[in-house]
Amino acid sequence: MLEIKNISCSIKDSDVEILNNLSLKINTGEVHVIMGPNGTGKSTLSKVIMGHYKYEVKSGDILLDGESIKDLEVDERARRGLFLCMQDPTVIEGVSNSEFLRTARGSITGEKVNLYTFIKDMENSMKDVGLDFNMLHRSLNMGFSGGEKKKNEILQMKFLKPKYIILDELDSGLDVDSLKLVCENINNYLIENKEASLLIITHYPRILEYLKPDFVHILKDGNIKKTGGMDLALEIEKNGYTNIDSMIGNDNDE
């Protein structure tokens, strides 16, 4: 279970508060969606959960399976099963995809990755997500298109086997066919890994055609204003975010 308890946070060394007393509970196996207009703190939330260096948690706590991870380093959070599929994955020149993946897997499992099984595994996984096998030996995300970067994130997810997956704007940069393919991969992952849960961050409900959510949350002004099901997402698609107060679903404002 991933539990966010009354989190307030701001940008480091500034008073600008982005998240304000936000709470969210994601049980094992659940799929949650956070939607909201630009600049409401959706991406910030994902980064704060991962422990990004730009943000400072002022109050509240983040719990993984009941244990606080708020003061843990980023790598320790990852080793406990957190995975953030980033909106704009970082390009790292000189570090090959293959070296990166094997080091990451080794760090998480604590065991050396066998080269032969790694190559066999990658041949299949890269075909699954629609990436050319040669990209394994290229510098990490370097010269990759926006779509290829996203596919590479999902490749990492498949290989590192996280329990808590956060998808930050997965659909940006992906064409319709690629989005469908990538979502198939995520769905298969969820079927194969019953323990895994998913937090999807998105502007558009389009991705929800492929990834069926259990809960839809609307984030505005740094807090969750509404929680509902798929019908809430569809209403957003129809009417936008302007009148969320009069929409269906449960009010979260206390």
Partner 1 sequence: MMSKIIYVLDNNESTEYKYNICEDTIIYHFSINSSSRVEVNLVEDNVSLYYYYNNINYDDNEFNIKINHLSNNSHSEVFNHGVNVKCNKLTYNVYGVVLKEFSKCRCMQDNQIINMDNGKSTILPILLIDNYDVDSNHSAYIGKFREEEIFYLMSRGISRSVANKILLNGFLINSDSLELDKINEFVLEIEKI
In 3D space, the residue among 55, 248, 48 whose CA is nearest the CA of residue 166 turns out to be: 48
Q: Residues in contact with partner 1, total (CB under 8 A)?
A: 29
**How far apart, in whole angstroms, are the C-alpha atoms of residue 49 and residue 91?**
22
Interacting span for partner 1 (CB under 8 A) from 11-19, 102-110, 114-122, 214-222: 102-110
Asked if 50 interacts with partner 1 (CB under 8 A), we say yes
Nearer to partner 1, 47 or 217 (CB): 47
Q: Hey, which residues between 194 and 253 contact partner 1 (CB under 8 A)?
A: none
Examine residue 156 and tell whether it contacts partner 1 (CB under 8 A): yes
Q: How far is the CB of 101 from partner 1 (least distance, A)?
A: 8
Judged by CB under 8 A, the residue of 100, 118, 210, 241 near partner 1 is 100
Residue 216: is it exposed, middle or buried by C-beta count within 10 angstroms (0-12/13-18/19+)?
A: buried
State the greatest distance between any 2 C-alpha atoms of the chain, in Å, as a whole number: 57
Contacts of 141 (CB under 8 A, 6+ apart): 89, 90, 91, 92, 97, 149, 152
Q: Which stretch binds partner 1 (CB under 8 A): 15-23, 75-83, 118-126, 234-242?
A: 75-83
CA distance 102 to 113: 6
Is residue 137 classed exposed, middle or buried when 0-12, 13-18 and 19+ CB atoms within 10 A define those classes?
Answer: exposed
63 binding partner 1? (CB under 8 A): no
Query: What does the chain come to in residues?
Result: 254
Nearer to partner 1 (CB atom), residue 56 or residue 214:
56
**Least separation in angstroms between CB 52 and partner 1:** 6
Give the binding site for partner 1 (CB under 8 A): 50, 52-53, 73-75, 77-79, 83-84, 86, 89-90, 92-95, 99-100, 103-105, 107-108, 137, 139, 156, 160
